[in-house]
Amino acid sequence: MENPLLRRSYYLFLFFSLVGLVFYTGFLFGNREKINSQDNNITVTNPNGQSLNTISRIQQRPVQGTSNGRTVENFGQMFFLVNKKNQTEIVINLERVPALIGTSPKQVAVPLELKVEIARRVKDTDGAETYAYESINLESRINSIISLSEPVNGLRSATFSGFVQEPIIDQTTRRGNIERIVLRSVDSEVNNIFVDIDSDLPLKIRGSLEAKIPGQPAPFFWIKL
């Protein structure tokens, strides 16, 4: 006949062993998640032997525009990197912005406030390619606006920082998920007097004399990705 005390001791041992195993497994899982969430401790070096850091991942593109409608000029830089949340952090620096663009008598004042937007290539209702513009912020309460400073020697400057809620450059193919970031007037009644005829643009944007497509007013500034 089995000893009741021995049987009770066996079950107690089995119970506490299972409880201990559960807690130990939970500890290992929690510790693994903690380690996985930490920054990578592996040191990566560039060709000159120096260590790479987070700033090493920053890329840049020129901010382009035209002051005369004939030549494309650089008016600053956009710096960006994709963070761990798969967002793109951007900083736009505008420099040497003239008060007016164009030549007399056909001129337009550069607005003091410009909205920062994404330009996506989409199909129009007739199947032709065009651009759809959207704010870089998903939250309507956040205004993505870059404001120009008071003029210094007749030229203005501005800085904008924010987030695009997706990678604007595919980290595998190194190609742009978004074609351009554009700076357009906050006032829909105020438009550029020039049309950007860059062959990279959709036909409905750049226009065509042969096809009798007038094209659309260019943003005041743009960044090609």
What does the pLDDT look like over 193-202, one tens digit per residue? 999 999 999 9
Q: Is 10 helix (H, G, I), strand (E, B) or coil?
A: helix
pTM, entire model: 0.75
Of residues 123 and 50, more confidence is placed in 123
Is residue 47 included in any domain, yes or no?
A: no
What does the pLDDT look like over 32-59, one tens digit per residue? 555 555 555 444 555 555 666 677 788 9
Asked whether residue 210 falls in the same domain as residue 124, the answer is yes
Q: Return the half-sphere exposure (C-beta side, CA atoms, 13 A cut-off) of residue 148.
A: 28
Is residue 7 included in any domain, yes or no?
A: yes
pLDDT of 97 > 60? The answer is yes
Asked whether residue 185 falls in the same domain as residue 102, the answer is yes
Instruction: Output the pLDDT for position 89.
Output: 94
Residue with tokens 């007399």: 104
Check if the beta carbon of residue 115 is closer than 8 Å to that of residue 135.
Answer: yes
Cβ contacts of 29 within 8 Å, gap of 6 or more: none
Is residue 48 included in any domain, yes or no?
A: no
Is residue 45 included in any domain, yes or no?
A: no
pLDDT of 139 > 70? The answer is no
Structural domain span for residue 2: 1-39
Asked whether residue 123 falls in the same domain as residue 17, the answer is no
Of residues 75 and 12, more confidence is placed in 75
Q: Cα separation of 179 and 207, whole Å?
A: 18
Instruction: Output the pLDDT for position 1.
Output: 46
- Least confident among 97-111, 126-140, 152-166: 126-140
Asked whether residue 7 falls in the same domain as residue 117, the answer is no
Asked whether residue 29 falls in the same domain as residue 127, the answer is no
Q: Give, in order, the Cα–Cα distances in Å from 114 to each of 23, 103, 139, 161, 216.
A: 57, 22, 18, 13, 17
Q: Which of 101-105, 133-137, 169-173, 202-206 has the largest mean confidence? A: 202-206
